[in-house]
Structure 1
Amino acid sequence: MITVYDAAGGKLKPRDETGNLSTSVWIDLQNPAEDEDKAIEQALGIEVPTRSEMREIEASNRFYTENGAYYMTGVILHNSSQDVPMTSVITFILSGTRLVTVRYADPRAFPLYVARAAKGDTACATGAGIMIGLIEMLIEREADLIERVQDEVERMAPVVFGQKGAGQPSRNRRLDVLLKTIGREGDVTARAQESAMSVHRLVLYFANAVRERKDDKRILARIEAAGHDIMSLMESLRFLSARTTFLLDATLGMISNEQNQIIKLFSVMAVMLMPPTLVASIYGMNFRHMPELDWSIGYPAALGLMLVSGLVPYLYFRKKGWL
């Protein structure tokens, strides 16, 4: 799908039809078909990268200049409102005063920026101005996601170290749920780190492109501010990653400790029952000549001996703090 935008009166306005692209400032290609790619290439004289080319990880394939156009591809986080956000690659092409975006996802930042630009809230007269506006919105959305993850981690930390009340099965179930939750938040943090590092590289290349193109210095100032913002997000993500790793290790340790307690209980019970079992085994033998068989108090004596032989290890273990 091709969406063409014009700048008029300090506002961004979409066209109903593509028509003549000479006056357009932004051409947005969302899930473009092959014929749409070719139409844009013929109209603008640029090469539109395919989806497989956009996924190349080499820096030379993501940031380069060709026929006077600057190509910048970044890994962008989207669907941040869902439990598990996704990442997708988006290519920004600066050609003259025009911006071309190629994407196979629908980040919420794009319609939010369009709504803001339609009200005249941001500079959108050139492709570079639109691009920095989109990047600022993407950074803002990622910051919101990081804040959500931080709140979730802060909520989980007291639960990991404050297991109270309820029985053993209930504690184990809570730890299992915590393990899954921490793992999910750790995956979200890793995706956010990947996106932040990619956006940071994109911003650096974008700044160099603006200097070479000698665009408005105000745009360069906004790019530098965006670079500082993404650096602060990367620092927060490093701390958040370390925090989730710590909580994950702590939760695994708690689960291991609970399992050890169960094994310990079974081991102690087995040792406590060994002496009574020995007594019961001896007096359970059916030999003809056993002096105790004629005792009138033989049965209660055997029961008492089994009780004492089991109680003594129990008291000993309690004294040692093993129970």
Structure 2
Amino acid sequence: MTAKQPELMRAVGHADELQQAGWLRLSAGQHEQLRAAHSQHGVDLSIIRGRAATEEGDFIIIPLELVIHQEQQYLETSVLFALSKDVLISVEKDVHLNALEQASQQLLETRLAGRPLDPAGMLFTLLEVLNDSAHAAIREISARLDERSEIVAIASGGFEMSKRQAGVADIAGTAIALGEAEELVAKTVEGQLMLARAGRWLRRVAGEARFEQSLPMLLSDIQSLRRYARFQHDKIRNLQQSLMTTMDIKQNQVVKVFTVVTAVFTPPTLVASFYGQNFAHMPELELPWGEWMVMGLTGLFALMPLLYIKRKGWMR
């Protein structure tokens, strides 16, 4: 027996215990089990069925789309809940959600302690755990944003820690990362809206008195996290705007450098082109100091636009 076999056997045993309590946990890849559940309960459990919550017979179908931080990466996934008075069916899309595994442990402990379990109560626990998982994901995104904020501040100041000029390529890399973070946060906000909708459907099915205190608290937590996620979204927008402004300034600086160089070297270029022409007679060439005179005038003509630019403050 391998090391993973006892763990797998325990997981199967836990699933059987919870299935007896009324929770049938499936994944989108279990086609035979999905067909059997469809045949037994008469409900379509296809994970690809849109975002609307619907009623089918005795069941309330509630789809959720989530952003989770699992195994050191962010995953966009979805889960479908089908709730009736007798059974709760969950269908996970493409990953095994650790949050649902954590919820199954809590429900199993509740069942082993002799406390009753029913489908509505189990869905309430699942929504709580999923909200906590979303909270953990948005906290992780917020920590990454704080790191990006420092990078943006350094780039806006002009230099990185290595004291080299922060270029457009450095800023562009940060902008791409911020764009990815913005998409994750936006999907998190949408996921919180779907969680809140699931809580309202649960209240409708179970009745107002069933979760009189706990469900309003859960809905308040979901709304608070949604506001926090929107705050992070606004922070990303501000960082993106700051980056775009910094990029424009740096591009203007590059253009300014070339403009100054062009202004400085244009008069000497004109002088050189003048003496490159074939004139029959050039009197200054016969003077002993004629060459030095031309060189001095060339340097003077080069310094004059440079002094003018510096006086205007265009060098800053």
Aligned to 1:176: 172
Aligned to 2:68: 78
Pairwise CA distance, 1:322? 0.7
Aligned to 1:87: 77
Q: Deviations over 1:165-200 (max 9, x none)?
A: 4233x4434322321221121121112112111112
Matched, 1:143 2:139: no
Three-state SS of the structure 2 residue aligned to 1:15 is helix
Give identity over the alignment, percent.
22
Pairwise CA distance, 1:250? 1.1
Pairwise CA distance, 1:125? 1.0
Pairwise CA distance, 1:24? 3.8
Q: Deviations over 1:212-270 (max 9, x none)?
A: xx7x72x4532222111110011111111111011111101111211111011111211
Matched, 1:28 2:28: no
Aligned to 2:255: 263
Aligned partner (choices 16, 35, 38) of residue 35 of structure 2: 38
Matched, 1:69 2:65: no
Distance 1:288 1:42 in 2: 106
Aligned partner (choices 186, 193, 200) of residue 204 of structure 1: 200
Distance 1:148 1:154 in 2: 10
Q: Deviations over 1:64-102 (max 9, x none)?
A: 2x33222222222234554443132x2212222321112
C-alpha contact 1:143 1:233 (8 A) present in aligned 2: yes
Pairwise CA distance, 1:34? 4.0
C-alpha contact 2:264 2:305 (8 A) present in aligned 1: yes
CA spacing shift, 1:236–1:119, aligned 2, 3 Å: same
Aligned to 1:107: 97
Three-state SS of the structure 2 residue aligned to 1:78 is strand
Three-state SS of the structure 2 residue aligned to 1:48 is coil
Distance 1:38 1:159 in 2: 52
Aligned to 1:308: 300
C-alpha contact 1:80 1:86 (8 A) present in aligned 2: no
Three-state SS of the structure 2 residue aligned to 1:256 is helix
Distance 2:77 2:190 in 1: 9
- How many residue pairs match? The answer is 297
Three-state SS of the structure 2 residue aligned to 1:288 is coil
Matched, 1:223 2:215: yes
C-alpha contact 1:79 1:86 (8 A) present in aligned 2: no
C-alpha contact 1:132 1:222 (8 A) present in aligned 2: no
C-alpha contact 2:131 2:222 (8 A) present in aligned 1: yes
RMSD between aligned residues:
2.7
Distance 1:72 1:256 in 2: 46
Distance 1:271 1:35 in 2: 77
C-alpha contact 1:71 1:92 (8 A) present in aligned 2: yes
Distance 1:179 1:268 in 2: 30
C-alpha contact 1:63 1:205 (8 A) present in aligned 2: no
Pairwise CA distance, 1:30? 1.1
Three-state SS of the structure 2 residue aligned to 1:13 is helix
Pairwise CA distance, 1:119? 3.3
The one-letter code matched in structure 1 to 2:107 is A
Three-state SS of the structure 2 residue aligned to 1:52 is coil
Aligned to 2:110: 120
The one-letter code matched in structure 1 to 2:54 is F
Aligned to 1:14: 15
* Structure 2 alignment gaps of length 5 or more: 1-7
Pairwise CA distance, 1:206? 1.6
